[in-house]
């Protein structure tokens, strides 16, 4: 079983001059309960099905299983997802040690929200924090995509 370890931050500066790749993402949830979220996603021209378990006490790590599926099947699954599909662009920004930030700029009901995540080999792993990185929100469930579909950023 795979373990995902990541930290999440608000973005409050210009990161776009450092972007090496960007991809549009549409995703929905077949199950959004914290113990097991099940997500269908179209990322660019590919489809994915992802299952995530409940997070650790810090919120930085949790079980994650993901498989690529035909994009047409991902589209069909999106039609039966819970209300509140997430629409965003993901920007890749390299970090100095070889890791990368995934910066998500949201649209629709979550317009105005931009968050950055960095996947780490361990919860204690050091990394460079660029000046555009804002407040850490790791473990704050309001920023989970599965919660943003239920309580969008515009309602805060």
Domains of the chain are 3-155 (2.40.320.10)
Average pLDDT over residues 56-73: 89
Cα–Cα distance for residue pair 73/148, rounded to 1 Å:
24
Residue 1 banded pLDDT, cuts 50, 70, 90: low
| Catalytic status, residue 153 | no
Q: Is the pLDDT of residue 92 over 70?
A: yes
> 72, 86 in Cβ contact below 8 A?
no
Q: How far apart are the first and last CA of the chain?
A: 35
Instruction: Report the pLDDT value the prediction gives residue 61, as an integer from 0 to 100.
Output: 82
Catalytic residue (one of 29, 143, 144, 153): 29
| Encoded tokens for 82 | 């819970």
């Amino acid at each position: 079983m795979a373990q995902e370890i990541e930290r999440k931050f608000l973005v409050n500066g210009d990161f776009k001059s450092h972007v090496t790749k960007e991809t549009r993402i549409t995703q929905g949830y077949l199950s959004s309960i914290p113990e097991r979220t099940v997500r269908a996603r179209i990322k660019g021209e590919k489809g994915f099905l992802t299952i995530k378990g409940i997070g650790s006490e810090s919120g930085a790590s949790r079980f994650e299983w993901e498989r690529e599926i035909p994009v047409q099947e991902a589209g069909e699954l999106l039609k039966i997802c819970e209300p509140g599909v997430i629409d965003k662009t993901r920007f890749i920004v390299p970090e100095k040690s070889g890791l990368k930030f995934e910066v998500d700029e949201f649209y629709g009901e979550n317009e105005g929200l931009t968050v950055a995540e960095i996947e780490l080999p361990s919860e204690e792993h050091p990394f460079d924090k660029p000046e555009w990185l804002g407040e850490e929100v790791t473990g704050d469930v309001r920023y989970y995509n599965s919660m943003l579909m239920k309580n969008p950023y515009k309602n805060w």
